[in-house]
């Protein structure tokens, strides 16, 4: 059996390490061809020794030199920076690129990989939030599959397999509601970074955990779903489902609702995106059905869900507005983690920046990155006193 040759970009992060768990569980199916990480040279060196990839990339030239010292000469090639990521994204031996790069740096990776016709397992949110139109157009042109790793869009992808999108009435994204779902509105001003980082159901990186608490993460998923599946914005809804067992649902025109249900473990959607179009044995424990707890659903809407409104507003404005939304949020979340901004001010900073920064056409990666930079400056001016 031919093995699928994969590149894992962001290999030392939460998604990257879990992807390597999946690879370890399927040595007969997956071959780790390339790895890339930002700054964690220690873990990357360990991973390179274990997996013997042909190429690894690291953030800086200095770290690349350090990595070369640690690895056996004549084995793995070490590259670095944006060029390093680019080399791996385009690597002729790679079938599937798992893009788990953190932040806007991941955008170019996705674009390069789809234009090279690779299958892309997409964990980098910025790619579709900032440049959804551009990337999906390139993916269609080059017949590249874009497979969402994010559990809710991943669930929608599973529910939609073999279906005609014209038969879809609604895409229903589930949201855990975050750790403050039951808190009174006025207490949100006092939320500390420690409280916000304590997500009730999912174990994830810092920014996405804060974005889950503000619901901005769900706003981003509305944007991801919009570009991935090509339905009207009005057909995408969010319901609160605190147990995170039902990862999302699709309602079809004939009245059938199809849901994807599974353990709250990222290795499930990661493996789905790596194995697609096949399905392989799970590397995690199977969910017991009926589950021991009930499954609750509540509507979303009102003050607590202002982040969803901001995401919809950005998508309606079109062009670079979603990129502005993302950049403003990233700056605001970082300021909150540094205790320079209150929790309830994160979305108000984003709303202000969305008003202030003009929307332009998102017709190139460059124009999107310019809007990103303008939004960062505008957000920074609001958080630094």
Segment contacting Mg ion (CB under 5 A): 30-38, 147-155, 297-305, 325-333?
147-155
Q: Using CA atoms, how far apart are residues 293 and 228, in angstroms rounded to an integer?
A: 32
Question: Exposure pattern of 171-184 as b/e (b: 16+ CB <10 Å)?
Answer: bbbbbbbbbbeeee
Site string for Mg ion, 264-303 (x = CB under 5 A): ----------------------------------------
Cβ at position 37, least distance to Mg ion in Å: 22
In the complex with Mg ion, which residue's Cβ is closer, 15 or 85? 15
Segment contacting Mg ion (CB under 5 A): 152-160, 265-273, 306-314, 330-338?
152-160
Q: Using CA atoms, how far apart are residues 73 and 7, in angstroms rounded to an integer?
A: 21
Segment contacting Mg ion (CB under 5 A): 105-113, 146-154, 248-256, 334-342?
146-154
Site string for Mg ion, 39-68 (x = CB under 5 A): ------------------------------
Segment contacting Mg ion (CB under 5 A): 57-65, 137-145, 150-158, 278-286?
150-158
| CA-derived radius of gyration, the chain | 20
Q: Residue 37 belongs to what H/E stretch? A: none
In the complex with Mg ion, which residue's Cβ is closer, 154 or 347? 154
Cβ at position 103, least distance to Mg ion in Å: 17
Q: For the sheet containing 168-175, what is the strand order?
A: 257-261, 246-252, 168-175, 236-240, 298-299
Segment contacting Mg ion (CB under 5 A): 143-151, 166-174, 274-282, 311-319?
143-151
Q: Using CA atoms, how far apart are residues 85 and 195, in angstroms rounded to an integer?
A: 35
Segment contacting Mg ion (CB under 5 A): 112-120, 149-157, 266-274, 277-285?
149-157
Q: Using CA atoms, how far apart are residues 298 and 361, in angstroms rounded to an integer?
A: 37
In the complex with Mg ion, which residue's Cβ is closer, 146 or 365? 146
Site string for Mg ion, 298-337 (x = CB under 5 A): ----------------------------------------
CB within 8 A of 266, min separation 6: which ones? Answer: 14, 15, 18, 149, 151, 202, 203, 204
User: Is residue 224 near Mg ion by the rule CB under 5 A?
Assistant: no
Question: Which member of 33, 87, 126, 150 binds Mg ion (CB under 5 A)?
Answer: 150
Q: Using CA atoms, how far apart are residues 374 and 379, in angstroms rounded to an integer?
A: 9
Q: Using CA atoms, how far apart are residues 172 and 166, in angstroms rounded to an integer?
A: 16
Site string for Mg ion, 68-107 (x = CB under 5 A): ----------------------------------------
In the complex with Mg ion, which residue's Cβ is closer, 151 or 260? 151
Alpha helices in the chain (DSSP H): 14-25, 41-51, 61-70, 81-90, 105-115, 125-141, 151-159, 193-196, 206-214, 216-229, 267-275, 306-317, 321-337, 346-356, 365-383
**Contact 130/104 with Cβ under 8 angstroms?**
yes
Question: Which member of 152, 329, 330, 372 binds Mg ion (CB under 5 A)?
Answer: 152
Cβ at position 379, least distance to Mg ion in Å: 23
Segment contacting Mg ion (CB under 5 A): 43-51, 123-131, 144-152, 372-380?
144-152
Q: Using CA atoms, how far apart are residues 24 and 51, in angstroms rounded to an integer?
A: 9
Residue 222 has a CB neighbour count (10 Å cut-off) of 23
Q: Using CA atoms, how far apart are residues 141 and 340, in angstroms rounded to an integer?
A: 44
Cβ at position 369, least distance to Mg ion in Å: 25
Q: Please work out the total of residues on this chain that contact Mg ion, with binding judged by CB under 5 A.
A: 3
Query: Comparing C-alpha atoms, which of 62, 68, 105 is closest to residue 85?
Result: 105
Residues that bind Mg ion in the complex, under the rule CB under 5 A: 150-152
């Amino acid at each position: 059996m031919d093995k699928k040759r994969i590149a894992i970009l962001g290999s030392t992060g939460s998604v990257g390490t879990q992807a390597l768990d999946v690879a370890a569980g399927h040595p007969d199916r997956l071959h780790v061809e390339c790895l890339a990480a930002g700054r964690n040279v220690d873990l990357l060196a360990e991973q390179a020794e274990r997996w013997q990839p042909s190429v690894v990339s690291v953030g800086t030239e200095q770290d690349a030199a350090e990595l070369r010292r640690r690895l056996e000469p004549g084995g793995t090639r070490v590259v670095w920076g944006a060029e390093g990521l680019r080399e791996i994204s385009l690597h002729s031996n790679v079938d599937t690129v798992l893009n788990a790069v953190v932040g806007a740096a991941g955008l170019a990776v996705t674009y390069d990989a789809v234009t090279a016709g690779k299958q892309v397992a997409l964990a980098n949110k910025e790619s579709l939030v900032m440049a959804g139109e551009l990337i999906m157009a390139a993916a269609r042109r080059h017949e590249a599959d874009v497979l969402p790793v994010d559990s809710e869009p991943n669930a929608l992808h599973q529910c939609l397999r073999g279906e005609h999108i014209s038969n879809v009435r609604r895409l229903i994204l589930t949201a855990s509601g975050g750790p403050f779902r039951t808190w009174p509105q006025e207490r949100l001003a006092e939320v500390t970074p420690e409280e916000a980082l304590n997500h009730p159901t999912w174990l994830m990186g810092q920014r996405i955990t804060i974005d889950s608490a503000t619901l901005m993460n769900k706003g981003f998923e509305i944007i991801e779903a919009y570009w991935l599946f090509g339905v009207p914005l009005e057909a995408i809804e969010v319901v609160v489902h605190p147990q995170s067992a039902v990862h999302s649902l699709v309602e079809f025109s004939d009245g059938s609702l199809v849901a994807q249900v599974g353990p709250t473990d990222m290795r499930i959607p990661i493996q789905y995106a790596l194995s697609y179009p096949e399905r392989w044995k799970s590397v995690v424990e199977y969910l017991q059905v009926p589950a021991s707890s009930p499954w609750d659903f509540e509507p979303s809407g009102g003050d607590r869900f202002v982040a969803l409104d901001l995401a919809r507003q950005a998508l309606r404005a079109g062009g670079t507005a979603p990129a502005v939304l993302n950049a403003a949020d990233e700056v605001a979340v970082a300021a909150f983690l540094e205790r320079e901004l209150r929790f309830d001010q994160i979305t108000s900073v984003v709303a202000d920046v969305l008003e202030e920064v003009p929307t332009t056409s998102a017709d190139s990666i460059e124009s999107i990155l310019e809007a990103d930079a303008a939004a960062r400056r505008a957000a920074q001016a609001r958080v630094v006193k």
